[in-house]
Structure 1
Amino acid sequence: MPRSTLTAALLVAAVACGLTAPPALAASSAPVPKVTRAALDPALVAGRGAAVAFDEQEAENAATNGTVIGPDRSAYTLLAEASGRKAVRLAPGQHVEFTLPARANAITVRYSIPDAPGGGGITAPLDVTVNGGRRTSMTLTSQYSWLYNQYPFSNDPGAGLLHPDWWITECACVPAATTPPPVIAKPFRPSHFYDEQRLLLGRTYRAGDRVRLTAPAGRAAEWTVIDLLDSELVGPPKVELRAANVLAFGADPTGRRDSAGAIEQAIAYAKRKRLKVYLPPGTYQVNRHIIVDDVTITGAGSWYTVVKGREVALPEPAPDGSVHTGVGFYGKPAAEGGSRNVHLSGFAIEGDVRERIDTDQVNGIGGAMSDSTIDGLHIRHTKAGMWFDGPMSNLRVTNTIIVDQIADAVNFHTGVTNSSVSNSFIRNSGDDALAMWSEKSTNAGNTFDHNTVQSPVLANGIAVYGGTDNTISGNLVADPVREGSALQVGSRFGAEPFAGRLDITGNTTVRSGTYELNWNIGLGAIWFYALERDIAADIRVTGNDFLDTTYNAIMLVSEWSVKDLYAITNVHFKDLRVDGTGTSVVSARVKGSATFENVDARNVGAVGVNNCGSFGFPATGSEFSLEDRGGNDGGWLAPWLLPNTITCDDRPPVVPPPAPSPW
């Protein structure tokens, strides 16, 4: 495709992404700062999600002479991937100004700028001033964003279909089997638009001071979209005096020379002397895996100590199929016994992953780590933030931030037991943000507790694929974009069966329930998917809040091809609050049963229960039954719906729900 055609195509993509907005708003005086959590009043999510050190402010609530864009939840748009589904577009010379709600000396800016016409990204400055004082320039980049096409995606906006033999919604056909072949607009399905940058401001500012972000004129970017700003008071660097300091072994804190060998020498020395390894403030270049076992590595804090590397092409594929390596801290493989007693804390990991190659081991943390802890890390631009391949046991991940991933943020894969992720913050994962995947060997006794997940671009906020006696509790999940939703319980991907008990307790979801392109239907905020076997464990969904759900709050579904083979049973819903659904409270598209007790609902867009069962439509009623255990308020579970009245509307009209409010 000629470059001029590509440029025009990218402009078309920008239109699709929500950048043809109304005329710019007039500048206004600085408003009272509006701190939100996942674009909600914090009172609506009190006690849910991670307790973080920063205050989050949405750009659409700040003062600007740019243009507020949104809301829109349609996939492949900048609006859908924005927190709260709104953002601010700046033309060159325009600004958005945030008022600090508390003392701060550091900010994080979530933004998007255009791709290069031929893909690969551009860079552009963003000016930062506080109270109109000294100007600092951040360098924004789109080199880690703007993916296109079908899974596993392309960096080329001009690429043809990666899988012309797949059915696609755009033509409602299989292109390779269609005569004549359909014309598919390019770029096809642009996505993964956002990135974020952190900046230490050099001094501490007071509550009420104004942070202005300006897109300067004469820059490469035709527009800049600002989604939000996090402001934080970062403490001084942590110092470890009794430790193996990597500087003593030749590590370069300027990042100019590779420090992998020096860090490994420090690890070997620390293990002999039973010391910690200390990474002082600085940027350390590491372009391969550091293997860790029976060692403690600590930095000065994730704002001060950065371990950063390039993605490196291997001369030939590794035995595991990897064709690249890159920065990462890896436990030994489980086949070699795994690692134990690994403790990592207080530093950042910055990768250089710009494409998705599923066989590549280019994750921030990997391998097997038992009896280990990971605390206070900041991970970005790796493939998966953390991917653990068991068997392994007793890992604790706490107080960690994982952003801007090509794939998952954390995946407990294959035989991970008695492990947890808690009080951690995840934004802009390229696949499931938090996943327990019991492939080949079951996961058991694990917990994802009080984490915040925002804007997973693909798949689910939190997913459990098989396993025994696991818990999902106290989490906040917001704004999933496509091919998944906030919470999923799935019999798929070759997972071992669910057994024992699965508790999904005290979570809040907001603006979830995406549109499933392949099925041409909307998903639930929580959805159960029986694809490869029955789901029959004791599953308790208790005390959850489903807010502003795009389609239905609860979905139980099976694939059409196996609808007569598999069922979902023994699921118990209790003490739930459903505030706003575009369609129904419950959508049943599978055979089986569930119980409901003290499920309160309001602002329901259609009938309370959309019961299709397994689409056999027998005279005896739906193949899916609901049991009313009392206390179900709001009229959604009317007596005439019980136990199995067929109320099937395959694609019911959607009534956008109102914004959530106090119950």
Structure 2
Amino acid sequence: MNRSVMRTSFPALPRSSYVLALAVALVGTVVGAAAPAAAAPSGASLPFTSVEAESATTTGQKIGPDQTQGTLASEASGRQAVRLDAGRSVEFTLTAAANAVNVAANVPDGQSGTLTVYVNGTRLDRSLAVTSKYSYVDTPWIAGAKTHHFFDNARLLLGRDLQAGDKVRFEAASTQVTVDVADFEQVAAPAARPSGSVSVVDKGADPTGRQDSTQAFRDAIATARSSGGTVWIPPGDFTLGSELSGVENVTIQGAGSWHSVVRSSRFINQSSSAGRVHLKDFAVIGEVTERVDNNPDNFVNGSLGPGSSVSGMWLQHLKVGLWLTGNNDNLVVENNRILDTTADGLNLNGTARGVTVRNNFLRNQGDDSLAMWSLNTTNSDSTFANNTISQPNLANGIAIYGGRDITVRDNLVQDTNALGSGIAISNQKFLDPFLPLAGTITVSGNTLVRTGAMNPNWNHPMGALRVDAYDSAIDATVNITDTTIKDSPYSAYEFVSGGGTGKAVRNVTVSGSTVDRVGTVVVQAETPGAVKFSDVKATGVGAAGVYNCPYPSGSGTFTLTDGGGNAGWDTVWADCASWPRPGGGNPDPGPDPTVNLAKGRTATATGATDVYTPGKAVDGDAGSYWESTNNAFPQAITVDLGASKAVRRVVLKLPPSAAWEARTQTLSLQGGTDDSSFTTLAASKDYRFDPASGNTVTVTLPDSAPATRYLRVRVTANSAWPAAQFSEVEAYLG
């Protein structure tokens, strides 16, 4: 049974009973200090160069950035992509030699199509097939899940050698295609057959893929196994209709993952093995289009046995890449690509010691990309190192659920979504018997970019790096060192008891960390315990340095011990009954008439164009703006002020740039105590926005205007553009 079935246990934690329990205030410089020097890069050494579509030349429409669960942009690399209607294109300029490309793209649900490929303006005689077949996954048994897994990877050998500076253009042939990122690669020629190996073709396998080759693979394995030999998969497409078992004391090797391809949703399924299994240099591409947790739809399901290895593999369209139970001692998993799995990339599911998972690339997992879960017996002395993880769309990048003496080092995790952090160190057991964290857990040298997400079950966010005493206290020694956290949408470090029972987080140190831009706080402390922080430097902190509110009320205090060298996060969130919003400030400014009540609040709109989303009108940046759907008046933007306020002044802005010609917008102001019933606060009239006077309009409301929580600006006309436009909607008490 897959561990993730139990994700329904996430609680919804009430916030009203949180108490402030800051034991030691950290000493640091003010937010906005000079950024610290960049750390050495983490992640895998990869054979390809990835280029984001939004940074390429395009005739299409850029979408995002967006963090909202269930949206296309929120699952994209960098939270942005390029939408191509039929005939529209995106063109990439190569920075290195390449003869192959892999493209992550989306097409509308139920559709398939093609991308026509041009090199330096000349159309190739081959195209890239794209499909929604493996996308739009639903998992209603996982609480908080929405339809997800929007993107899919498609690869193509270009048939020619290209050089740096060459241009590769993709044009949507008929179906709308949203392109996220392209990986350009110089693929080597097929490798030669090893001497003395047993070829699956010699045993009757069909390299065209038209006939089932399962028995030929079984016969070749049986022959090679007797002598500890090698099974050879030559270049070709091989179909396996059934899984393999009894695989031990054998090497299964291909000519390269672009050349030797096995079409199978279940490659190896066995509960035990004597070991010494080596799988290398071929692709296994499945046909898994939905997640069925009771099905072993995995590349490896069960055990390879001790002393085994997996290297140079391309694993795609499976439920899980490797779901490892049984004895897998001293297993090495390295230099692989795991793409488009509907659940985990790899899960080390107990009973393993000395496992190393290194230098792998994982993209678009439907659960944890890499996980260790100590069920039945403990994982111990095992390591996740130098892996690159991108876009897990329903859980964590890396998750350690229990285990003894575990190391997570020098990994790069990007763009988590919905129910996960970049890295989670957790005592969430899911099932029994579970072995909690023990010994020393080393988390070192990792880089987390745009990680952490809003948990729809908790109704509050998860940090970029989470230490979670979910079902039992954290008693292991947890050393978190040299971490780089960039552009976290919410917090950097979260300490929580996710089961809502106030289990303690103890014996944790955080040292040598660089935090560069967080939406809310650097430290999100939600359970009793104690953590020591040293040399943690932060810039671009959205709301406050520390949120210290253990739950449940009365469960104890959380102590932040200042080990010295901390800077940039000495402020404290003052109200445990309210969550900080990204870019916010404390939730209740009190009677101060100079405080903008709308800044950092939730904004919604009747429509938006491209990246000009409603949040741009409350982000405090007059240079960004919201633009409604074009040619569809009336349009409206609504700001939730968080509580009913006696708003007496509303300031509306457009970007203060001479590039914006003067315009008149016809608008009215409305307000309400809920988001369904509104009263007119200011009747509709024409307002002139003129760059010569700052492109600002102020609407003064009478003292008799009712208190309002939901402030709505309704626009019926714009003299210069067929849409409503505001760079800031500001609300004041006076």
Per the TM superposition, whether the score is higher than 0.5 is yes
Question: 1:361-380 counterparts in 2 under 5 A?
Answer: 361-369=296-304, 370-380=306-316
The reply to whether residue 108 of structure 1 matches residue 102 of structure 2 is: yes
In the alignment, what sits opposite 2:288? 353
In the alignment, what sits opposite 1:653? 581
In the alignment, what sits opposite 1:235? 188
Alignment CA distance shift 1:274-1:435 (3 Å): closer
In the alignment, what sits opposite 1:206? 163
Q: What residue identity is the alignment partner of 1:126?
A: L
In the alignment, what sits opposite 2:451? 512
- The CA deviation string for residues 138-184 of structure 1, in whole angstroms up to 9 with x for no partner, is 221111001236235xxxxxxxxxxxxx7x7xxxxxxxxxxxxxxxx
Alignment CA distance shift 1:75-1:45 (3 Å): farther
- The CA deviation string for residues 378-407 of structure 1, in whole angstroms up to 9 with x for no partner, is 000010011100233010000000000000
User: How far did residue 273 of structure 1 move?
Assistant: 4.3
Q: Give 1:271's match in structure 2, choosing from 225, 229, 240.
A: 225
Question: 1:279-318 counterparts in 2 under 5 A?
Answer: 279-291=233-245, 292-309=247-264
Q: What residue identity is the alignment partner of 1:328?
A: F
In the alignment, what sits opposite 1:587? 524
In the alignment, what sits opposite 1:155? none
The reply to whether residue 500 of structure 1 matches residue 489 of structure 2 is: no
- The CA deviation string for residues 341-366 of structure 1, in whole angstroms up to 9 with x for no partner, is 00010000001111111111110122
Q: State the TM-score, normalizing by the size of structure 2.
A: 0.72
CA distance in 2, matches of 1:347, 1:658: 51
Identify which range, 75-84 or 530-539, moves more after superposition: 530-539
Q: Is the CA contact (8 Å cut-off) linking 2:137 and 2:291 kept in structure 1? A: no
Question: 1:12-51 counterparts in 2 under 5 A?
Answer: 46-51=40-45
Q: Give 1:78's match in structure 2, choosing from 56, 72, 75.
A: 72
In the alignment, what sits opposite 2:59? 65
Question: 1:152-167 counterparts in 2 under 5 A?
Answer: none
Q: What residue identity is the alignment partner of 1:568?
A: V
Residue 440 of structure 1 aligns to a residue whose secondary structure is coil
- The CA deviation string for residues 466-491 of structure 1, in whole angstroms up to 9 with x for no partner, is 01000000000000011111010111
Q: Is the CA contact (8 Å cut-off) linking 1:575 and 1:598 kept in structure 2? A: yes
Question: 1:311-326 counterparts in 2 under 5 A?
Answer: 326=265
In the alignment, what sits opposite 1:405? 341
In the alignment, what sits opposite 1:131? 120
Q: Is the CA contact (8 Å cut-off) linking 1:308 and 1:327 kept in structure 2? A: no
Q: Give 2:141's match in structure 1, choosing from 134, 138, 151.
A: 151
In the alignment, what sits opposite 1:552? 491
Aligned length: 544
Residue 393 of structure 1 aligns to a residue whose secondary structure is coil
CA distance in 1, matches of 2:286, 2:128: 19
CA distance in 2, matches of 1:568, 1:584: 19
Residue 540 of structure 2 aligns to a residue whose secondary structure is strand
Q: What residue identity is the alignment partner of 1:511?
A: R
Which of structures 1 and 2 has the larger relative contact order (alpha carbons within 8 angstroms, sep 6+)?
2
Question: 1:504-653 counterparts in 2 under 5 A?
Answer: 504-559=443-498, 561-563=500-502, 566-616=503-553, 623-634=557-568, 636-637=569-570, 648=576, 650-653=578-581
Q: What residue identity is the alignment partner of 2:250?
A: V
- The CA deviation string for residues 438-458 of structure 1, in whole angstroms up to 9 with x for no partner, is 012111010000000000001
- The CA deviation string for residues 467-517 of structure 1, in whole angstroms up to 9 with x for no partner, is 100000000000001111101011112331111000000000011110011
User: How far did residue 648 of structure 1 move?
Assistant: 2.9
Q: What residue identity is the alignment partner of 1:97?
A: E
Question: 1:378-397 counterparts in 2 under 5 A?
Answer: 378-397=314-333
- The CA deviation string for residues 538-560 of structure 1, in whole angstroms up to 9 with x for no partner, is 00000110111111100111246
Q: What residue identity is the alignment partner of 2:192?
A: V
CA distance in 2, matches of 1:256, 1:463: 40
CA distance in 2, matches of 1:210, 1:110: 18
User: How far did residue 578 of structure 1 move?
Assistant: 0.7
- The CA deviation string for residues 7-48 of structure 1, in whole angstroms up to 9 with x for no partner, is xxxxxxxxxxxxxxxxxxxxxxxxxxxxxxxxxxxx967431
Q: Is the CA contact (8 Å cut-off) linking 1:125 and 1:137 kept in structure 2? A: yes
The reply to whether residue 488 of structure 1 matches residue 482 of structure 2 is: no
In the alignment, what sits opposite 2:268? 329
Residue 468 of structure 2 aligns to a residue whose secondary structure is strand
User: How far did residue 189 of structure 1 move?
Assistant: 3.2
The reply to whether residue 215 of structure 1 matches residue 172 of structure 2 is: yes
CA distance in 1, matches of 2:266, 2:560: 51
User: How far did residue 270 of structure 1 move?
Assistant: 1.5
The reply to whether residue 251 of structure 1 matches residue 205 of structure 2 is: yes
Q: What residue identity is the alignment partner of 2:93?
A: T
User: How far did residue 649 of structure 1 move?
Assistant: 5.3
Structure 1 unaligned spans of 5+: 1-42, 117-121, 153-165, 169-187, 310-325
CA distance in 1, matches of 2:381, 2:122: 53
CA distance in 1, matches of 2:301, 2:620: 42
Alignment CA distance shift 1:412-1:373 (3 Å): same
Q: Is the CA contact (8 Å cut-off) linking 1:580 and 1:658 kept in structure 2? A: no
CA distance in 2, matches of 1:569, 1:532: 14
Cα RMSD of the aligned pairs, angstroms, is 2.0
- The CA deviation string for residues 279-308 of structure 1, in whole angstroms up to 9 with x for no partner, is 010011012212211100110000000010
User: How far did residue 615 of structure 1 move?
Assistant: 4.3
Q: Give 2:356's match in structure 1, choosing from 388, 406, 420.
A: 420
Q: Is the CA contact (8 Å cut-off) linking 2:94 and 2:168 kept in structure 1? A: yes
CA distance in 2, matches of 1:44, 1:381: 36
The reply to whether residue 340 of structure 1 matches residue 275 of structure 2 is: yes
In the alignment, what sits opposite 2:693? none
Residue 84 of structure 1 aligns to a residue whose secondary structure is helix
Residue 392 of structure 1 aligns to a residue whose secondary structure is coil
CA distance in 1, matches of 2:139, 2:288: 18
Identify which range, 357-366 or 461-470, moves more after superposition: 357-366
Q: What residue identity is the alignment partner of 2:229?
A: L
CA distance in 2, matches of 1:240, 1:560: 54
Greater Rg by CA: 2
Structure 2 unaligned spans of 5+: 1-36, 584-599, 601-618, 622-734
CA distance in 2, matches of 1:138, 1:46: 36
User: How far did residue 561 of structure 1 move?
Assistant: 4.1
In the alignment, what sits opposite 1:429? 365
Q: Is the CA contact (8 Å cut-off) linking 1:596 and 1:632 kept in structure 2? A: yes
Q: Is the CA contact (8 Å cut-off) linking 2:286 and 2:317 kept in structure 1? A: yes
Q: What residue identity is the alignment partner of 2:268?
A: F
In the alignment, what sits opposite 2:657? none
Q: Is the CA contact (8 Å cut-off) linking 1:504 and 1:542 kept in structure 2? A: yes
CA distance in 1, matches of 2:83, 2:38: 28
Q: Is the CA contact (8 Å cut-off) linking 2:228 and 2:249 kept in structure 1? A: no
Alignment CA distance shift 1:556-1:261 (3 Å): same
In the alignment, what sits opposite 1:451? 387
Alignment CA distance shift 1:417-1:589 (3 Å): same
CA distance in 1, matches of 2:169, 2:541: 40
Alignment CA distance shift 1:274-1:391 (3 Å): closer
Q: What residue identity is the alignment partner of 1:654?
A: P
CA distance in 2, matches of 1:249, 1:275: 15
